Structure 1
Amino acid sequence: MMDLVKDAFKKEKLLANFRFFVLLNLGLILTALGIVWFKTPNHFAFGGTSGLSVLLSALFPQFNVGFFMWVLNLILVVLGFVFLGISCMGWTVFSSFALSFYVSLCEAIWPMPHPFTDDKLLELIFAVLLPAIGAAIVFNIGASTGGTDIVALILTKHSSLNIGTALMVSDVLIIIGAAAIFGVSTGLYCILGLIGKSFVVDGVIENINQRKVCTVVTSNPEDIIDFILDDLHRSATVEDAQGAYTGKDLTVIITVLTRREAARLRNFLRTNDNHAFITIVNSSEIIGKGFRALN
């Protein structure tokens, strides 16, 4: 019996690791596509290693953006090993080199000497959207895209500097460099891109994790509980309650569902218990078994 439990645990862990690896690489590939297809040909330098690489490739056109990302990430990884130690770097090392690899691969397969369109704003939207979605996927699984995240880790450990401010200053300096090299218009687009990326990353992470916290108040709980357990394959918390106005004995059922499951529960109540009272609240921070791990 114990062997079966151990085998099941190992399979679950392998599946979780496989899912983590797939999502990590998916996020890095989307980020790389945004850099190669939209950032580089439009000279959008929002900050970070990709932004600095765009500037350097313009100053030294014999080298492409991928080359400079390899160089910058290699330097940052070495600094990370020196100041943080190997054990603290974790997946950051893989992410740094994997992103550089995907950028170089995209440049080799589909080089972009010119933008897709003449619409600068449309190009900016996709230059923000693809890397932001990619970064959101990576951040959501507890990893990072490497690069300036290593700088943040070093500053966190060895100084009292405000990390957000320090990274923002570096991004602003890169944007100023973009304005000086490519013109004020490009610099202003870069400012919009930097602002837009932060909103899109937060929005995507919230939508990925968004669940519905459903609270049902009913006098006939049995069928509802059976539906949640047997049809939705979810659990619930059940509490005894009393109506303040009627004084009747009631049952409160609290469960967390996906959007689709919440709609099914709502339709079930409409058909089978139209006197039930239900509240549905959005939440993107559901932590526990069946959702995000506690750690």
Structure 2
Amino acid sequence: MKIRKETGKELALDFLYDIVGGGIFAIGTHCFVSPSNIAPGGASGIAIMFNYLFNLPIGTMIFVVNVPLMILAYKYIGKGFTLRTLKSVVVSSLMLDVVVAPFFPQYVGDELLGSLFGGVITGAGLAIVFMRDSTTGGSDIAGRLIQVRWPHIPIGQAMLFFDVTVLLVSILVFGSIESGLYGLICMFVCSKVIDGIIYGMDKGTMAVIVSDKTREIAEKVMEEMERGVTLLKGVGAYSGEDKEVALCAVARSQFHRLKTIAYEVDPRAFIIVSEAGEILGEGFKDIKKD
């Protein structure tokens, strides 16, 4: 009974984050990015081009573009990731077409301001979705699928390749090099906002946690996040006391949750965070022999 309650609570939080994050993302896309004729990569960029050419709803097109990607993700990446992504994509698409587009005005002024504000707002919305270990599809799925086919390509580079391709196509669709340049600015600002809110890059994050309650933190991380934790033996240089240090590697979208768990268990925990260039092993990139 307790497990069911916890599951229901987590699912409710997932939807809450999706609604808030999807709503913010929808505002940035509808109010600033789309009217500036900017297609800053990903499924949303493709959807904006369809809207420009055929006047099709952006939210609906984001969903349509993601459908084939999610089918491939279900087959090659996994059921859990695909279902979480599907949930977030549906919510954000509905927020765009049903809540934001009919009622929110569009900014039709300077394109540079549109790209800057669009990048900030969409980045904030995406960061909120990432906090619950989910994504809005598009580049995230495409990047992971590219890496399945070519494992030697880092996922960050795979995502960049997909986004740049969309950006180059947008120059032809909008008939303006400036649209591509503004789209590049929007992409850059968006990525910086995401990093600033949740910390971490696509390559992964490694955290070293020093606490008097290290085992409790490790148990909660393994139970709630399904991530492995390694306990290292240590000695406090000042106190001379034996300590256990937790070492844990997580994806960028999981770091916020890891930090929250650590401070829920021990508000005085000491956490050292560093970027991991590549994470190999169970739960991350498979180690394949050439």
Shorter-normalised TM range = 0.5 to 0.7
- Which of the numbers 26, 40, 54 marks the counterpart of 1:32? 26
- Which of the numbers 141, 144, 150 marks the counterpart of 2:135? 144
Deviation at 1:73, TM superposition (A): 1.9
The answer to whether residue 128 in structure 2 is matched with residue 134 in structure 1 is no
TM-score, structure 2 as length reference: 0.63
Confirm or deny: 8 A CA contact 1:135 1:145 kept in the other structure.
yes
C-alpha change, 1:187 and 1:152, in structure 2 (3 Å) is closer
Q: Which has the larger radius of gyration?
A: 1
Confirm or deny: 8 A CA contact 1:241 1:252 kept in the other structure.
yes
Gaps of 5+ in 2: 201-208, 212-233, 245-261, 275-283, 285-290
Q: Structure 2 counterpart of 1:109, which letter?
A: P
Q: Which residue matches 1:92?
A: 85
Give percent identity, aligned residues only.
Answer: 23
Confirm or deny: 8 A CA contact 1:96 1:146 kept in the other structure.
yes
Pairwise CA RMSD: 3.9
C-alpha change, 1:282 and 1:120, in structure 2 (3 Å) is farther
Deviation at 1:202, TM superposition (A): 0.7
Q: Which residue matches 2:113?
A: 122
Deviation at 1:86, TM superposition (A): 4.6
The answer to whether residue 47 in structure 2 is matched with residue 72 in structure 1 is no
Gaps of 5+ in 1: 1-6, 208-212, 216-238, 244-248, 263-279, 286-294
Confirm or deny: 8 A CA contact 1:67 1:104 kept in the other structure.
yes
Q: Which residue matches 1:265?
A: none
CA distance in 1, matches of 2:8, 2:263: 25
Confirm or deny: 8 A CA contact 1:36 1:106 kept in the other structure.
no
CA distance in 2, matches of 1:71, 1:16: 27
* Per-residue CA distance 1:167-203 (angstroms, 9 max, x = gap): 2122112222333325222221111111121111011
CA distance in 2, matches of 1:143, 1:176: 27
CA distance in 2, matches of 1:214, 1:241: 10
Q: Structure 2 counterpart of 1:80, which letter?
A: A
Confirm or deny: 8 A CA contact 1:81 1:89 kept in the other structure.
yes
* Per-residue CA distance 1:228-274 (angstroms, 9 max, x = gap): xxxxxxxxxxx99797xxxxx899999x769xx78xxxxxxxxxxxx
Confirm or deny: 8 A CA contact 1:33 1:106 kept in the other structure.
no
CA distance in 1, matches of 2:52, 2:103: 19
- Which of the numbers 191, 197, 202 marks the counterpart of 2:195? 202
SS at match of 2:199: helix
Confirm or deny: 8 A CA contact 1:206 1:284 kept in the other structure.
no
Confirm or deny: 8 A CA contact 2:23 2:100 kept in the other structure.
no
C-alpha change, 1:107 and 1:175, in structure 2 (3 Å) is same
C-alpha change, 1:70 and 1:206, in structure 2 (3 Å) is closer
C-alpha change, 1:252 and 1:125, in structure 2 (3 Å) is farther
- Which of the numbers 17, 28, 45 marks the counterpart of 2:39? 45
Q: Structure 2 counterpart of 1:171, which letter?
A: D
Q: Which residue matches 1:160?
A: 151
SS at match of 2:17: helix
* Per-residue CA distance 1:30-81 (angstroms, 9 max, x = gap): 1122111111111121100111111222222x32323422321223233334
The answer to whether residue 170 in structure 2 is matched with residue 178 in structure 1 is yes
CA distance in 2, matches of 1:99, 1:119: 26
